[in-house]
Chain A
Amino acid sequence: MALPPPDPQFVLRGTSAAVHTLHFSCGGQEPDVPLLFSGSENGLIHIWNLKTRRVDTALDGHGRNSVYCVETMGSKDRLLSQGRDQRICLWDLAEGRMSVMDSVFTENVGFCRCSLLKVAQGRWLMAMASKALEEVQVLELPSKMSVCTLKPGVGAKLGMPMCLKLWQLSCGSQPLLLAGYEDGSVVLWNLSMGKALSQLICHQEPVMSLDFDLEKTKGISGSSEKVLSIWSLDEQQNLQVYKTHKLVNAGISDITIRPDKKILATAGWDHRIRIFGWKKMKPLAVLDYHTATVHCVSFSDHKQPSERLLAAGSKDHRISIWSIYTQT
């Protein structure tokens, strides 16, 4: 007799706007407090203290335009946020400061979240959708120099890039980019050559979100249709469909694989969060708490496995925090 799904451990209220993006920063040592960063539709970035479960600070850097991506760069003092005002802001939050150090003007009016990759100490690569319709630009931060621009070939009607993931097999190897596009295909790009290595049509509808497991070179993508697509990368850097999983209701906003690669979570348009086992895509749980579409899910980076959390942000202005499958 299976147990009924668990309730959230707690729920964060107070954003008063739809939550579009979440990011944990819980890896620090005592006395550092575990934090959760959230970006909302009203342009504010809230920094939640997970001990007191209240907002510590609210950052306003995008002028009331929706913030759809937040990421920390190395530590909790460096934050990157991307908003609908076509800007990517780099924040300095050390010692209580709340200032924008630098910003990048992307000239892109889409919703594609940027992707960060640390290549060396103090050096980062950031991939973002750029001004032209189908292009992805990769910049080096903090110098903001353009590393390359990835343009699909003439006649390949890929549409807008919808989601990006930069990765490298190991430190020092060449970085690669996985990009999901509006026409439902996922493309693997080689940054140094600026060429596409492989393209795979995973969905009939735009790819909403994707995530990739480096160790198994297996990835998963979700779209606005009812199917999740799991694909793998072989030695020749070719993408191949591994399997597909059919969902009950259509529409996935976000997918994320837990850092220990055991489970993954999907945020659905049907207000539900689904947990699957990553190895075999075994459905594990359906978490039904939210009353509107769930925009984002994120796993925490706690050092202690038992403290690990899952956060989900939804259009109903709530962030639900779950503690699920923490024993493994």
Chain B
Amino acid sequence: VCFTLGGSDCSISFVSHVLGKICVHGRQKEMLSVLVPRLAELTRSDCIWQRMCWRLLECVPQRWMEAVLLGFVQTAPGADVLSRLLGNLVVKNKKAQFVLTQKVLLLQYSHKTAVLQNLLGYLSLDPLRRPLLVKVLQELLETWGSSSAVRHSPPEQQQYISKAILICLSHLKESEIESCRQELLTSMMEGVKCHLDSNLPRIRHLGMVVAESISLKINTDGPVLKFQYEEDDEARELKSLLVQTTPCCAVPSLPDEEENEKAAVLPLVSDGDKKSPRAAPVLPAEESDTDLDSDDDLVPYDMSEDKELRTKAPLYLRDCIEVLTGCENVDKWEATVKALESLIRKNPAATREVSVELAKVLLHLEEKTCVEGFVELRQRAQVALLTTDPIPVAQYLTSQFYSLNYSLRQRVDILDVLVLAAQELSHPKFHGKTKHSVAPKPGIQLLPGSDSSKDWRRIVDERIKSKTRRIATGQAQVELPSGPNEFNSVAGHFFFPLIQHFDRPLTTFDLLGEDHFVLGRLVHTLAVLMYLAVNTVAVTAMGKALLEFVWTLRFHTDCYVRQGLLSCISSMLLSVPAERLLEDMTEELLETQSWLGDVVEKDPDGDCRRLALQSLLLMENLKKKLQSVPS
């Protein structure tokens, strides 16, 4: 539709109606992609055209205003164009204000960053509209800082809000920031607390980046908030939003940074100057010595034994225990810690004699000196211990998991060690070959870190892939040397004690209460143990117990826990043989299936929905497989 207005007295309202109707029917793109550039050009210098454009938009009926506005905001090439086209519509028209300041920012989150830039830039370009910008920022911060929002809204929405906040900050002038500095500070503190409380690393990162940016803006002099985190693409993208390309905004931040840098350099320079006198020149000390060499008649003795003094680690495990529990000699302690794992592996018989004692020592071992990789060394020693003497050590560790007065770190360590040991036990050992590249199920790397949910997706995907290709149980494509699955005899010892007491709160440890981080890790651990227990004798019993466990917790509010529960279901479906599933657990399976369907539709977290969907797929495959086998 390309129209030209010849006369000066036309009714634009008809055109507005047409425009509105077209947009509401979803044809915004086609219409506006032609209209907006034309209007942009026409309004560039001509005031009359600007007024006409504003009138055009004002006359759009209320019920179609949203569609039109959204279309404009999305297709406008920049904030200044939007400003020319819309004028002060947002101030004059209530519906427009609602759409632009509330709906687009707080209720929707599917728009691209460019849309946000346009919108917020538009708000900032006119003094009449700037108060709206401040108001918008306050509302955004309120949402960002509310703990229920952080817990229940999807990460994509949180990212959207974070972007909006950063763009707002970049547009605000010094004076405006001054006026609302206190509120910014309060909301930042509250928001940071909720974000850091979350179990998902992505939310934590978002919180940290936004908090740092806010702090940078409100504390232009003096120390700013600085978090330690890994800079990934998301963080970099967010940070880039803080700096606007237009010269009128966000300039204060740059000179401040420079000033801070200069201030930091100066003290260093002055220290260097204070450093005392002259490093004296070294005189060459060789052939200039013309004296008679009376040293020649002093014959040196044999000094080949003169080597660097190295403390030797003890050679026996009982000595190691002694050193670790009481020795004052830090060099010896360090040497012992480094040598422990290999000693344990080389002397299985000796290890079995002192296994529980050593497990106790290792669980309570704290870093005495600054040994590199202490945490890893300790964990490897614990894993070695657990694989050498699984049953008593597993009994000890699982009992300690539910005991009083352990720190969260220690409890999580117990879980990590159990998982690593289970993995080692269930995979055949390869003597003489490098271990790192080999795993019977290819491409699976079990990282018992906070990212186990990602791995689970990969694992389940692979398993599904392998299952759908052949009728027989999917095996690795590469034929690898096999050995007995040592996890078979001990799987139950790892698994059941962990499940036993989860609902019994202790004074310092309440899984169902505030220690939901540990609960999340526990659930993920159970999922891994279940997965590794494939083909073991206890797998059916484990499956049943796990299903009951999942059932009681299925409505947990923490999404990390829910992801773990869903991984449990997946691994159970993968590990328990199909016949056993259908014979012993039919009702539970049906209940679970309906729950999974619910999750797929209603759960706010994207990962949860995906995991639920995969479990449903697995169940479908199971049914099909059993139906296809002739009975």
Contacts and interface: CB of A to CB of B under 8 A. Distances in A.
B298 interface: yes
A128 to B, nearest CB: 25
B300 A285 contact: yes
B279 to A, nearest CB: 7
A120 interface: no
A249 interface: yes
Interface stretch (B3-11, B210-218, B281-289, B455-463): B281-289
Nearest to B298: A277
Interface in B262-290: 274, 276-277, 279-283, 285, 289
Given A5-B303, A279-B293, A325 B298 contact: yes
Interface string B302-346: 110111110000000000000000000000000000000000000
Of the listed residues A3, A200, A286, A325, the one surrounded by the most CB atoms of chain B closer than 10 A to its CB is A286
Contact of A248 (B280, B295, B308): B308
B294 interface: yes
B301 interface: yes
B295 A280 contact: yes
B297 interface: yes
B291 interface: yes
Nearest to A325: B298
A284 B300 contact: yes
Given A241-B283, A283-B303, A286-B303, A156 B294 contact: no
Given A241-B283, A284-B300, A248 B307 contact: yes
B279 A201 contact: yes
Nearest to B274: A155
- Binding site of B, secondary structure by majority: helix, strand, loop or mixed? loop
Given A201-B277, A239-B280, A5 B309 contact: no
A105 interface: no
A10 interface: no
Contacts of A239: 280
B280 A240 contact: yes
Contacts of B285: 242-243
A123 interface: no
B303 A285 contact: yes
Given A241-B282, A241-B283, A279-B291, A5 B298 contact: no
Contacts of B305: 5, 286, 288
Contacts of B277: 199, 201
Contacts of B282: 241-244
Nearest to B282: A241
A263 interface: yes
Contacts of A2: 299-303
Contact of B306 (A155, A232, A240, A272): A272
Interface string A1-16: 1111110000000000
Interface centre among B280, B282, B302 (most CB of A within 10 A): B280
A244 B280 CA distance: 13
Interface in A278-307: 278-280, 282-286, 288
A92 interface: no
Contacts of B300: 2, 282-285
B276 A282 contact: no
Contacts of B299: 2-3, 284
B308 to A, nearest CB: 6
Contacts of B293: 279-280
Contacts of B307: 248
Nearest to B285: A243
B291 A284 contact: no
Task: Bin the interface of chain B by size.
Answer: 20 to 34
B295 A282 contact: yes
Contacts of B297: 328
Nearest to A269: B309
Contacts of A283: 300, 303
A279 B276 contact: no
A284 B283 contact: no
B320 to A, nearest CB: 22
Contacts of B279: 201
Interface in A203-262: 232, 239-244, 248-249, 262
Contacts of A249: 308-309
A5 B291 contact: no
Contacts of A199: 276-277
B287 to A, nearest CB: 11
A185 interface: yes
Contacts of B274: 155
A156 B276 CA distance: 7
B303 A279 contact: no
Given A248-B308, A279-B294, A279-B295, A6 B283 contact: no
A60 interface: no
Contacts of B303: 2, 5, 283, 285-286
Nearest to A199: B277
Given A248-B306, A248-B308, A279-B295, A3 B301 contact: yes
A68 B79 CA distance: 82
Contacts of B276: 156-157, 185, 199, 201
A316 interface: no
A270 interface: yes
Contacts of A286: 301, 303, 305-306
Contacts of A325: 298
B281 A240 contact: yes
Contacts of B294: 262, 279, 328
A247 to B, nearest CB: 9
Given A248-B308, A249-B309, A285-B303, A241 B291 contact: no
A4 B291 contact: no
Contacts of B306: 248, 272, 286, 288
A222 to B, nearest CB: 16
A158 to B, nearest CB: 9
Contact of B302 (A4, A155, A243): A4
Interface in A143-185: 155-157, 185
A272 B309 CA distance: 10
A244 B285 CA distance: 10
A277 B301 contact: no
A172 B280 CA distance: 31
Contact of B298 (A185, A248, A272, A328): A328
Contact of A242 (B283, B291, B309): B283
B283 A282 contact: no
A218 to B, nearest CB: 11
A325 B300 CA distance: 10
A49 B274 CA distance: 53
26 contacts: A2-B301, A2-B302, A2-B303, A3-B299, A4-B302, A5-B301, A5-B305, A199-B276, A200-B280, A201-B279, A240-B281, A241-B283, A242-B282, A243-B282, A244-B282, A270-B309, A272-B306, A277-B295, A277-B298, A280-B289, A280-B293, A282-B295, A282-B300, A283-B303, A285-B301, A285-B303
Interface of A: 1-6, 155-157, 185, 199-201, 232, 239-244, 248-249, 262-263, 270-272, 277-280, 282-286, 288, 325, 328
Given A2-B299, A242-B283, A263-B298, 11 more contacts: A2-B302, A3-B302, A5-B301, A5-B305, A201-B277, A248-B308, A249-B308, A277-B298, A282-B295, A282-B298, A283-B300
